[in-house]
Structure 1
Amino acid sequence: MSSGNGLERKKLSKTLKPHWVWAIALGSSIGWGSFVLPADWMAGAGPLGVILGLSIGAVLMAIIAISYGVLIRNYPVSGGEFAYAFLSLNRVHAYISGWFLTLGYICIVALNATAFALMLKFVFPDFIQNMKIYTVAGWDVYFTEIIIVTLLVAFFTYLNIKGSGLSGRMQFIFVMILILGVFSLTGFMTTNSGASFSNMNPVFSPEVSPLAAILTIVAIAPFAYVGFDNVPQAAEEFKFSARKALTLIMMALLFAAIIYSFMIITTAVAAPWQDTSSAGLQWGTGTVVQDVLGTGGLVILVVALSMGIFTGLNGFLISASRVLFAMARGKVLPNAFSKLHSKHNTPYFAIIFAAIVAILAPWFGREVLGWIVNMSSLGVSIAYFYTCYTAYSLLKWNDQGSEFDETLHIVSPGKKFIAILGMVSSVGFLILLLYPNSPAALGSESLWALVIWIVLGFIFYLVKRKDLQSYDREDLAYLILGKEKFKLTDKED
């Protein structure tokens, strides 16, 4: 498709069905965390502290999701928050949003892949812990582990290049197996004579106040639920009305909160949770499930965890490549990232690039990768703020005049107020992560990773600035948003 200025705008094929998109959102939100981290989370908050914190986090994510629903409905294009920041502000803010999103998404691809190797290390330690290369930040790096991560990422790279239809269908199958596994595990554990709900006492960690315990978990909500925002990245490929997007996101958040809660209960009823959390176990949930349910229970857990890893890896590889594609189409990144496969019409170069970066990550050790992922929670919160701000700008209190094209405007004071709540929630997440005395403040390593990423982003922007500024806003609006007629705001660079 070409504009009146002769610009060529590449478009992706519409192949995704509603239940596939729901699976992308849910599978990405769950990932590996719900199966690997319950013991770690309970150590600082207690079982009820984690469940309440994650439930409150889901509500806050739902508030933010309403703004996503408004924007997806009006702008079903790849790029999501990158495109939204351009719409309400300018190309500089679009670049900032896209820069943080790219890092977050690619890191989560890598983290899911290394989680698979971590699981195999628990199940088959003698096989995985071979050919040690070196130690980074106290973490032993094994060549066997790197081979497994590389093969796993390569498989999903192939799947994604073949088309979003194939990856979406596989995502739905993975998610259904995951749900069946979680429900089965919780049912078996809570009805087993070797487990007891009394093991969940005390329900809050005695080390901190209940409020501090809950806030510690609320602060990780952007990390725990990141993945529902994969929906706008896939919006351009919807084979259905974009009006359904918000319902799909809300259903994904609901199922994600239930799954998280079920896995906390599954872990906590097996044995006194304080013993599980303080024992220094490599995988607390795996250990207690095996103790109570035996090998059969461990097999169910391993299958469910594998599906969680696969859905997270697949979902974020889709999103990372779509953000890269959208940024290249918007002239922020080199044109190579917007190249489409001649047969499958997928952004193959962007997919391969994201995969290569993800494959490099395990060489630095999981501890270092964890620092970067913790920092990326802040980047996701920034993207949430941009989305809510854009929805606030787009929505109107009444039918008075507006700075935007009237055909795109919606009179909805309720949703406009919710967009304000979304901005407040996003700022709250940022404060919890950055304020030194916060119970969820980022560690010094994560803050240094943040500084390095900001400096790299600034340098890269200086390199691209001249080329980016050579396009006027109308041209960029066409390339990023697909709008040939676009009323400009006064918020240009």
Structure 2
Amino acid sequence: MQRKKLSKTLKPHWVWAIALGSSIGWGSFVLPADWMNQAGPMGVILGLSIGAVLMAIIAISYGVLIKNYPVSGGEFAYAFLSLNRVHAYISGWFLTLGYICIVALNATAFALMLKFLLPDFIQQMKMYEVAGWDVYFTEVIIVVLLVSVFTILNIRGSGLSGRLQFIFCLILIGGVFTLTGWMASDTATSFSNLQPAFNPEVTPLAAILTIVAISPFAYVGFDNVPQAAEEFNFSSKKALSLIMFALVAAAAIYSLMIVTTALPAPWQEVAGAGLQWGTGEVVREVLGTGGVVILVAALSMGIFTGLNGFLISASRVLFAMSRGLVLPRKFSDLHPKYNTPTFAIIFAAIIAMIAPWFGRNVLGWIVGMSSVGVSIAYFYTTFTAFKMLKWSKNDPGFDETKHIVSPWRKVTAVLGMASSVGFLGLLLIPGSPAALGIESLVALIVWIVIGVVFYMIRRKDLMSHDREDLAYLILGDKKFDIQDKD
């Protein structure tokens, strides 16, 4: 049975850009006012900073696994490694949904930005209303064209998309620092506008926890690194440091954009005004056209990096699941010239293109539940690292070809599992300050049902192969498998 392989074209700084650009996306530019309305400026900054620390703890497990298993599929492969093909399917199923949703959300954010800048142009050819959101044909066309451009770029190779990702990130970082510095030095702004530090309607702890709970969504993207691991043209040992650097940079950018949004006026006025785009409004009012140009440039780069990064990751998960016989083999077809998973890229893009037809509010429900899927994937990763890591060589079942002695990493794996379960609890337990709304819960149930049906259709073919064959296809070598049987 022949195992298909991807080309090794990605350089270290490109991979760092994939992690950072995917983590930032559109959220740091569009959501500051919404987040402050929930938690206040300091609640958001502390919540996202704590979230970054928790992500860093989880990232240590990713570093261990990427170093030893630099294969496409990431959490899909890890769930198979430590458990079995059923868990691998569950992990891959949730990841695919989450990644494609974020591709769609970034693309629709670009249309939302244009609606702010050119409302008369964008708000044409209204088709219908979904969940209170007016759907315009012009918006749909813009999303389709944007996704199509990045589909072509991805088909032409990860080297091209990685190089562009790095350029986009440099422009994004320059734009954020310029905006914050300009806003802070303007005589019309004041740091006193960041008071009160927390939303006075809730306790500081509840405010912080509300933001901590969205950390899987805010930082999802650093986990794009394992999806691209098979395409590294450098040692996989560098993966962890690249992820950590990306998380620090992402937390800093989020914090700077919160400050930028809160400086011009008392934050409660901005957050509670129901503005279409709070950050855009205050930048236009204080910094004028020049500030808006910089903001739009930075936001565009954030959208492009998120769209590009998650299109890479979604297609690689689909490719890995197909190579591992979980999905039809068409998904692992490679381009004859560029050696990219063409069908998987096109499939992910088409699903993302469907989203704008349902309105942004509906998409928001799906993205909300995708945080659950990401948290599940984090748990699989940390659990797998926990099983691979040993306290000492005297542990029962220790095999130096399959296990690693590292007590401190094993402790971080335990903390990572606890963090993942904590995220799930905050999202799913009724009464939690960050509990999902009924619409997101319904979307989650629907996706689970679809997944069960699809699994039952594929089950006979999947179960017809023994674990050794699957280990070779998924991990690259059956001798690396830490499980003896499913």
Which secondary structure state, in structure 2, belongs to the residue aligned with residue 408 of structure 1? coil
Aligned to 2:278: 284
Counterpart of 1:161 (choices 155, 166, 178) is 155
One-letter identity of the residue aligned with 2:239: A
Alignment of 1:453-468 (within 5 A): 453-468=447-462
Partners of 1:468 and 1:11 in 2: CA distance: 20
Taking the aligned partners of 1:332 and 1:484, their CA distance within structure 2 comes to: 17
* 1:213 corresponding residue in structure 2: 207
Query: C-alpha displacement at 1:400, in angstroms?
Result: 2.2
How has the CA–CA distance of structure 1 residues 195 and 397 changed in structure 2, closer, same or farther, with 3 Å as cutoff?
Answer: same
Deviation readout 1:404-460 (Å, 9 max, x if unpaired): 753132100000010000000000000000011100000000000000000000000
SS in 1 for 2:127: strand
Q: Which residue matches 1:227?
A: 221
Match for 1:142: what amino acid? Answer: Y
Provide the TM-score with structure 1 as the length reference: 0.98
Is it true that 1:56 corresponds to 2:50 in the alignment?
yes
Equivalent pair of 1:63/1:422 in contact (CA under 8 Å): yes
For residues 70 and 439 of structure 2, the distance between their equivalents in structure 1, rounded to whole angstroms, comes to: 37
Q: Distance in 1 between matches of 2:32 and 2:479?
A: 50
The 2-side partners of 1:87 and 1:382 are apart by: 16
Kindly tell me the number of residue pairs found equivalent between the two proteins: 486
Counterpart of 1:101 in structure 2 is: 95
Alignment partner of 2:187 out of 181, 185, 193: 193
8 Å contact kept, 2:82–2:482: no
Give the aligned residue type for 2:406: S
Q: Which runs of structure 2 are paired with 1:357-436 in the superposition (5 Å)? A: 357-400=351-394, 403=397, 405-436=399-430
**Which 4+ stretches in 1 moved above 3 angstroms?**
401-405
Q: Do the aligned partners of residues 97 and 487 (structure 1) sit closer, same or farther apart at CA in structure 2, a change above 3 Å counting?
A: closer
Q: For the structure 1 residues 168 and 486, does the alpha-carbon distance in structure 2 shift closer, same or farther, using more than 3 Å as the test?
A: closer
Structure-1 separation of matches of 2:188 and 2:304: 31
* Selected match of 2:252 from 230, 245, 258: 258
Equivalent-residue separation in structure 1 for 2:465 and 2:240 (angstroms)? 33
Q: CA RMSD in A?
A: 0.9
Residue identity in the other structure for 2:195: N
Counterpart secondary structure, 1:407: coil
Counterpart contact for 1:328–1:336, Cα < 8 Å: yes
Secondary structure of 1:406 counterpart = coil
Tell whether the 8 Å contact from 1:23 to 1:252 is kept in structure 2 after alignment. yes
Output the CA distance in 1 between the equivalents of 2:126 and 2:291. Answer: 30
Is 1:448 aligned to residue 460 of structure 2?
no
- Report the equivalent of 1:33: 27
Shift of 1:331: 0.2
- Matching residue's letter, 2:162: G
User: Which amino acid in structure 2 is aligned with residue 147 of structure 1?
Assistant: I
Q: Distance in 2 between matches of 1:488 and 1:252?
A: 30
Deviation at 1:403, TM superposition (A): 4.3
What is the letter of the counterpart of residue 117 of structure 1? Answer: A
Q: How does 1:300-319 map to 2 (within 5 A)?
A: 300-319=294-313
The letter of the residue matching 2:476 is G
**Helix, strand or coil at the partner of 2:401:** helix
Looking at structure 1, the residues matched to 54 and 332 of structure 2 have their Cα atoms a distance apart, in angstroms, of 34
> 1:489, CA displacement in angstroms?
2.4
Partner of 1:15: 9
* Pair 1:184 & 2:178 matched: yes
Residue 4 of structure 1 aligns with which residue? Answer: none
Note if contact 2:428-2:436 (Cα within 8 Å) is conserved in structure 1.
yes
Unaligned residue ranges in structure 1 (runs of 5+): 1-6
CA–CA distance in structure 2, aligned partners of residues 403 and 230 of structure 1: 32
State the Cα deviation string for residues 162-209 of structure 1 (Å, max 9, x = none).
Answer: 000000000000000000000000000011011110111101000000
Q: In 2, distance between residues paired with 1:435 and 1:366? A: 25
Residue 339 of structure 1: aligned partner? 333
The answer as to 2:441 corresponding to 1:482 is: no
Contact kept? 1:9, 1:479, Cα under 8 Å: yes
Q: CA deviation at 1:270?
A: 1.1
Inter-partner Cα distance in structure 1 for 2:72 and 2:242: 17
Identity %: 78
> 1:490 Cα shift?
5.3
Change in 2 beyond 3 A, CA 1:491/1:271? farther
2:292 corresponds to: 298
